[in-house]
Structure 1
Amino acid sequence: MLNIILIPVFLFLGILLQKIISAPGKLARNLNNFLIYIILPALALKYLPTIELVPELALPVATAWISFSLSWIIFGWAGKKLGWSNSITGCLIITAGLANTSFVGIPIVQALFGEDGVRIAFLIDQAGSFIIVSSIAIIVASIYSSNKKRKRDITRKILTFPPFIFFLLAMLMNILKIKTPVFLQLPLEIIVFTLTPVALTSVGLQVKVDLKSIKSKYLWIGLSYKLLFIPLVILLLFRYLFKLEGLILNVSVIETAMAPMITGSIIAISNNLEPKLASLLVGVGIPLSFFTLGLWYWYLG
């Protein structure tokens, strides 16, 4: 219960800090760097060497790929059919197609399902969301904007990203049955303990809501897809076609139901794909997702 209470507390702390400190953007970048270079690698070393690799875990990882693929298919088709601009179409594909499975997702899963849930959530994030946002999302951005990315740059970005390096290391340790050294366990516990306060404060510092633009139909189309439609697809697909149940099903649905990914919105913004819409999808989506996630959690029982 305490972990659940801390989620809105630190989110609103970040929002409050936007108003009272002189450089909220700099603090947000520092917190993001701590998450990327310290906390996410620590999560990999703490959880992945001990996770039992069973075939069913391929399905949670697939949720991120299903979500982004359907986003590209649906919004790509709708954009052509309804005459949307390339910038709107690309923005919706990337921002609505990617869930915030790490900075928001892992703390929430930790609060709702404990450490066993975090192991599954981390696999979804690293083997799903991270690879997509680091490669395919950049390709989509180059298709729908004038900016071009070389294949060499995309590959280098993936292979030099610290969480991905530690993800590979931890998975190798798992395969070779190598446990995390005892002397690292306490430091890792301490670092992982900071996940919720650091991640949610960082998110709060970056939440921007333009009330004048909140009536945009594209905002609500994107959020309807992200918070309602795609979690329903995953629930029906996994429960009735693949016969999944219990923790794996619950974490898969909850992670899919997370608000749009901040990094995805940054890719859209940096490629001039409707920057205001991309910011709104995150700024409105994160607070709204706490309500819709509660409904999904209640339904899953």
Structure 2
Amino acid sequence: MTNLILVILCLIIGILLQRLKELPKDAPKSLNTYLIYIVLPALALLHIPETELSLGLLLPVLTAWISFGISWVIFGTLGKKLGWSKATTGCLIIVPGLANTSFIGFPIIEALYGSEGLKIALMVDQAGSFIIVSSIAIIVASIYGHGKKRKRDVTKKILTFPPFLFFLIALFMNLLHLEFEGTVYEILQAFADTLTPIALIAVGLQVKINAETLSSKNLWYGLSFKLLFIPTLIFFLYRLFLDEGNILYKVSVMETAMAPMITGSIIAINHDLNPKLASLLVGIGIPLSFITLMGWYYLVG
């Protein structure tokens, strides 16, 4: 419950800080740079080396890949048919295509399904959402960002993207059964702990809630996809493979139903993929998801 209160509080703080004239206009971008170059690599080095890889967790992990793949197909197609800008299309592929499986997902899953549910959620996040946001999302951002980029440039961008680079290091550590301990671990943890407050304050700084923004069709396209369409698809599709009382089934549906991923919005904002829409998808999606998640919890039991 503390984490959920922190999420809402940080969003409100970010929105209120907009009133300060002393605040630099590029403050959100500076905060996002800190998150990408410091915090996300710290998270990779902390969690991936200690994650136990298991084939039994493949179905829950696949939910993240299914969600992003379908997001790319649907919004990529709609963008062409409805004449959206490339920036808007890229934003809608990335942000609604990724679920907030960690600092929204973890506390909710742990509260509902205990430590067993949390272990599954960790794999969904690390082997699903985190890999996608560190690699595939960068490809999408490069394709739909300003200017044409050569394949070599896109590949270089992925390989030099700090979270992806440190993901590879962390995966190598996992295979060698190496983990950080002592002072190094505590330092990494200290940086990792700043993710939620800094990321949400940065989002709050860019959220402009008014009649005009709430009437944006693109906003509701994205949130309808994220909070309703994809969870519905997983709800029915996974019934073919898992018993409805299976904890793997329950966590798969619930993690898919989480609000849009904050890190995905950071990627979109940093690549200038409709930053206003990216912020709104997260800023409105998070509180709205608390309501829709209650409905999904009732359905999966």
TM over 0.5: yes
In the TM superposition, what whole-angstrom CA distance separates every residue of 1:3-38 from its partner, at most 9, and x where no partner exists?
A: 222111111111111122533543322322232222
The question of whether the paired residues in 2 share the 8 Å contact of 1:28 and 1:202 is answered with yes
Once residues 239 and 17 of structure 2 are traced to their aligned partners in structure 1, the CA distance between those partners, rounded to angstroms, is 42
Is 1:129 the counterpart of 2:130? The answer is: no
Asked if structure 2 preserves the Cα contact closer than 8 Å seen for 1:98 and 1:133, the reply is: no
**Structure 1: which 5+ residue stretches go unaligned?**
none
- What code does the residue aligned with 1:192 have? A
Output the CA distance in 2 between the equivalents of 1:206 and 1:276: 7
Q: Does 1:285 align with 2:288?
A: no
% identical equivalent positions: 43
Tell me which amino acid in the other structure corresponds to 1:211.
Answer: A
Task: Judge which range, 129-138 or 243-252, deviates more.
Answer: 243-252
Counterpart position of 2:102: 106
One-letter amino acid of the counterpart of residue 138, structure 1: S
Distance in 2 between residues matched to 1:190 and 1:96, nearest whole Å: 27
Shift of residue 158 of structure 1?
Answer: 0.8
Q: Following superposition, which runs of at least 4 residues in structure 1 exceed 6 angstroms of deviation?
A: none
Alpha-carbon distance between aligned partners in 1 of 2:283 and 2:7, rounded to the nearest angstrom: 16
Give the letter for the 2:289 counterpart. Answer: S
The C-alpha deviation readout for 1:164-223, integer Å capped at 9, x for no partner, is: 111111111111111223331222332233232222222212223342243243432332
Kept in 2: contact 1:14–1:201 (CA 8 A): yes
Q: Distance in 2 between matches of 1:174 and 1:46?
A: 11
Per the alignment, residue 93 of structure 2 pairs with 94
The farther-off stretch of 25-34 and 148-157 is: 25-34
SS state at 1:14 partner: helix
Gaps in structure 2 of 5+ consecutive residues: 111-117
Alignment of 1:1-301 (within 5 A): 1-23=1-23, 25-78=25-78, 83-87=81-85, 90=89, 93-95=92-94, 97-99=96-98, 101=100, 105-113=101-109, 116=119, 117-118=121-122, 120-139=124-143, 141=144, 147-241=147-241, 245-246=246-247, 249-250=250-251, 253-255=254-256, 257-259=258-260, 261-263=264-266, 265-266=268-269, 269-270=272-273, 280-297=280-297, 299-301=299-301
Per mean C-alpha deviation after superposition, the further-off stretch among 179-188 and 162-171 is 179-188
Distance 2:29 2:99 in 1: 17
2:204–2:283 CA contact under 8 A, matched in 1: no
1:208 and 1:33, CA in 2 relative to 1: closer, same or farther beyond 3 A? Answer: same
Q: What is the Cα-based RMSD across aligned positions, in Å?
A: 3.2
